[in-house]
């Protein structure tokens, strides 16, 4: 990977890098690519793809109805500066 490659990637990401930052990014990207080359050499024949990153999926909650915990509209309106017919009145934002 050359400095020009790093600058091209930085430009695509809309980043402006100094020469020092280009050099540091080049070293970092080379390290990532080196690791990818190591992983590329791993024999994965016969290994089934894992649907989850963990050995077992996280437990899911039971999909059951629960009591409604929302406050009634009247209770919410009591704290509002202005309300009408069970709704909070706010200043118009869009004209």
Q: Does any domain span residue 19?
A: yes
Q: Does any domain span residue 70?
A: no
Q: Does any domain span residue 12?
A: yes
Tens-digit pLDDT profile for residues 38-67: 999 999 999 888 777 767 667 788 888 888
- Domain containing residue 35: CATH number: 1.10.20
The per-residue pLDDT for 57 is 65
The per-residue pLDDT for 70 is 78
Number of domains in the chain: 1
Q: pLDDT exceeding 90 applies to what percent of the chain? A: 46
Domain span at 27:
3-40
Q: What is the DSSP letter of 66?
A: -
Q: Does any domain span residue 18?
A: yes
Taking a C-beta distance cutoff of 8 angstroms, is the pair 1, 21 a contact?
A: no
Q: pTM value?
A: 0.47
């Amino acid at each position: 990977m050359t400095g020009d490659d790093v600058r091209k990637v930085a430009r695509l990401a809309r980043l402006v890098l100094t020469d020092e930052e280009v050099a540091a990014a080049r070293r970092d990207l080379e390290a990532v690519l080196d690791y990818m080359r190591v992983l590329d050499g791993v024999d994965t024949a016969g290994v089934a793809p894992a649907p989850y990153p963990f050995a077992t999926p996280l437990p899911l909650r039971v999909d059951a109805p629960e009591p409604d915990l929302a406050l009634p509209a009247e209770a919410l309106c009591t704290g509002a500066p202005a309300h009408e017919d069970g709704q909070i009145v706010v200043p118009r934002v869009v004209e």
